[in-house]
Amino acid sequence: MSRTALRVCPLCEATCGLTLTVENDRVTGARGDRDDVFSAGFICPKGAAFGELDNDPDRLTRPLVRRDGRLAEASWEEAFDAVAAGLRPLIDAYGPDSVAVVLGNPNVHTMAGALYPTMLLGALRTRNVYTASTLDQMPKHVSSGLLFGDALAIPVPDLDRTDHLLLIGANPLESNGSLCTAPDFPGRLKALRRRGGRLTVVDPRRTRTAKLADRHLAPRPGTDAALLAALVHVLFAEELTDLGRLDGHADGAEGVRALVDAFTLEAAAAFCGLSAADIRETARELAAAPTAAVYGRVGSSTVEFGTLASWLVDVLNILTGNLDRPGGAMFPLSATAPPPRPAGPGKGFALGRWRSRVSGHPEAKSELPLATLAEEIETPGEGQVRAVVAIAANPVLSAPDGDRLDRALASVDFMVSVDPYLGETARHAHVVLPPPRPSQSPHHDFVFNGFAVRNQARFNREAIPLPDGRPDEGEILARLVLCAAGMHGADPAEVDRTAVERTLAKAVADPHAPVHGREPAELAARLTGRTGVERRLDMMLRLGPYGDGFGARPDGLSLEKLLEHPHGIDLGPMRPRIPEVLRTRSGRIELCPAPIAADMDRLRRALVERLHGDGTGLVLVGRRHLRSNNSWMHNLPALTGGSNRCTLQVHPDDAARLGLADGAMARIKSDGGEVVAPVEVTGTLRAGVVSLPHGWGHDRSGTRLSVASAAPGANVNQLLDGSRLDPLSGTAVLNGFPVQVEPAG
Ligand SMILES: Nc1nc2c(c(=O)[nH]1)N[C@H]1C(S)=C(S)[C@@H](COP(=O)(O)OP(=O)(O)OC[C@H]3O[C@@H](n4cnc5c(=O)[nH]c(N)nc54)[C@H](O)[C@@H]3O)O[C@H]1N2
Ligand SMILES: Nc1nc2c(c(=O)[nH]1)N[C@H]1C(S)=C(S)[C@@H](COP(=O)(O)OP(=O)(O)OC[C@H]3O[C@@H](n4cnc5c(=O)[nH]c(N)nc54)[C@H](O)[C@@H]3O)O[C@H]1N2
Ligand code: SF4
Ligand SMILES: [Mo]
């Protein structure tokens, strides 16, 4: 007997609605849900492989516990006993900082990952917090924190209404978009062109996205901040700035003018390897467009000047009057966000409130650079990391110098991984706790709705019921919280009750909340939902900006209402949110924050010294492939092979100069080590740039990834030693670092 079930796809940030075909307890097919309010039927090859992913025979079904050095299957009780026995004594003996928490990317794709890690950190109170953000978007959090006072207030391009899109270091035709949730990003870009809008793409590679563009600028990797500073320079020099409605809400424009003074067209053109005319035209077009949005992603973020580039992206949006207006770059408002409050001064954003123990890196958003985890494990002394809690994280492949991290993780006293696979990182754990398959997990996009180009809400219950006694990921993480808090054995539902109690107590005390003055217990009793996760979603929806306010606005959102609309509820296009969204101490946009101004010295020095300017050395950039996802989707036959391979792309001129033949092996060397990969000669790169994708290197022993390990590829991050960081955000420089390449005999 076959039936269908709806499920929002968790495999990338586009959040497409899928219609799954379910036979008995297996997913046998997936197609785009045409009635989905947001994705309207769009699907990509990864979504279409949902069934294969769900049924992957390598997926762990039971916990693993290490005994006598070997991981063996165990019961859930045994597994949590081992976690409690492993963690608490270390915390008691060595203090909270002896436990490092590592949170990986899939946490933002699960309900549990959005709800419990904060509570885990609250229970542990460790400063050793590491996440994929410092391999990714931390520069954007820092620039938003400084500009707007809220690290999560990240403007997204209003894709469906803009007249002009300037896309920097992003390749949504392969990635499907990031920090800009837009199912069918490719279709939306084509629609922009069809309605007469313009698309400019800045990328050292001629990507599929660049091929769609009206203008493609291929700068030297790592130089975007200088390019952007030059665009700002042109706006000032040609009197093209016009803040429009933002005029009364922003301070510091004159300071910005001074900071970009050195970035003349000529200087920037030489530094970036672009023509001055192209830079000037790009600035003029941006200023002249009726509406425009500037958007930068991974290629402008995981670079030497990532925070400066991220800041300049929004400076351009602001100086052209495009921030917070339809067709510009806008702030989404998700259904579970706290309700808008009156405008006014906020707490602001502080950076560097503490520093990492070994190298003294400043914290950002309460995190330390993931690239420094190994040294925190290896270096003895007070505060040394002796235990690791890894949730949905594979830093052995995703972060710099996996070989060193391998050795470090092998040396810790205790490690627990919450992961469905026995992968390169989880293989070091003493306990592996596997969450159920996605088809057996409920779904709501707590995180990505906050970055979506249209406000909407969707919720799916698990498509296939969990067998009795099998905890879902919410329960696994709740029990982990209890172990960390020294409450092992208590009812995991207690964790949700505590979360609900705390949130409601705050809400009733808040004069701006719709439930101000009411009784928390009365409100808690009105929550619906079959599980703790569902009740917490119900609470957040009802307290949220579109919520029913527990009866105050009877037409508003609640879990019940969302369940009545299985294809989702559309909440309309993004709407202007300034000044309400601002949380700076001044209550205004702070265009010229001190930490940024100070870091501009570094960029100015680079410009003068032409650090990248001699043009002789090779630099490496990454790339993504549509049928891949970071480090964990190489185990599905449907997605492997073809052009999804770990090759070193080399420009024909460089290949000829270096004696590299297409298909032959090349040895690539840099600070952290060397790797060998097959050469793919292609004219789609800027000369002097080579490209190797990340997430490969599945040749380590002790994993259970039978398909991936048969075609392991090379780990690009082995080329890095973890010392290259964007200083303000602690983000690893994964793009635009120097390499040497030679034929491998
Ligand atoms: N050189 C280079 N390195 C990069 C990048 C790059 O562009 N270039 N990109 C960086 C970026 S943007 C990111 S986000 C990071 C990602 O880095 P990570 O977050 O460390 O890596 P992922 O490959 O996403 O692996 C996540 C782990 O989660 C597990 N997992 C999958 N689904 C679930 C689930 O539902 N629950 C749980 N608990 N676990 C699950 C997988 O099995 C895998 O072990 O990589 C970064 N590394
Ligand atoms: N298919 C697929 N989709 C994914 C993922 C995946 O691994 N595979 N990962 C997901 C994750 S975690 C994320 S964060 C997003 C990322 O989504 P995107 O930000 O779109 O990431 P990429 O596709 O890596 O695109 C980055 C582009 O930056 C370019 N680049 C490199 N260096 C520079 C530079 O110095 N300047 C400029 N201007 N460009 C540069 C690269 O050539 C590349 O084309 O994708 C998500 N979606
Ligand atoms: S675009 Fe992303 S969300 Fe949509 S089907 Fe593909 S992987 Fe899933
Ligand atoms: Mo990412």
Which tokens in the block code for residue 88?
Answer: 């608490």
Strand 454-457 and strand 569-573: the pairing is: antiparallel
Q: Which helix (H) or strand (E) holds 571?
A: strand 569-573
Whole-number pLDDT of residue 613: 45
pLDDT tens-place string over residues 169-199: 999 999 999 999 999 999 999 999 999 999 9
Measured from the alpha carbon of residue 416, the closest ligand is 1
Query: DSSP 3-state assignment of 737?
Result: strand
Q: What are phi and psi of 693, to 5 degrees?
A: -75, 165
User: How far is 503 from 499, CA to CA, in rounded Å?
Assistant: 6
Residues 6+ away with beta carbon under 8 Å from 258: none
pTM above 0.85, yes or no: yes
pLDDT tens-place string over residues 80-91: 999 999 999 999
Across the range 600-623, mean pLDDT stands at 84
Measured from the alpha carbon of residue 132, the closest ligand is 1
Whole-number pLDDT of residue 487: 97
Bridge partners, 390 (sequence order): 102, 417
Which atom of ligand 1 is nearest to 717's Cα? 1
Which atom of ligand 1 is nearest to 131's Cα? 19
Measured from the alpha carbon of residue 631, the closest ligand is 1
pLDDT tens-place string over residues 213-222: 999 999 999 9
Which atom of ligand 2 is nearest to 624's Cα? 23
Ligand 3 geometric centre to CA of 476 (Å): 26
418 lines ligand 1 (CB under 6 A): yes
Ligand 4 geometric centre to CA of 136 (Å): 5
Q: For 294, what's the count of Cα atoms within 13 Å in the CB-facing half-sphere?
A: 27
Across the range 445-454, mean pLDDT stands at 98
Across the range 299-314, mean pLDDT stands at 98
Q: Which helix (H) or strand (E) holds 275?
A: none
pLDDT tens-place string over residues 68-110: 999 999 999 999 999 999 999 999 999 999 999 999 999 999 9
207 lines ligand 2 (CB under 6 A): yes
pLDDT tens-place string over residues 661-712: 999 999 999 999 999 999 999 999 999 999 999 999 999 999 999 999 999 9
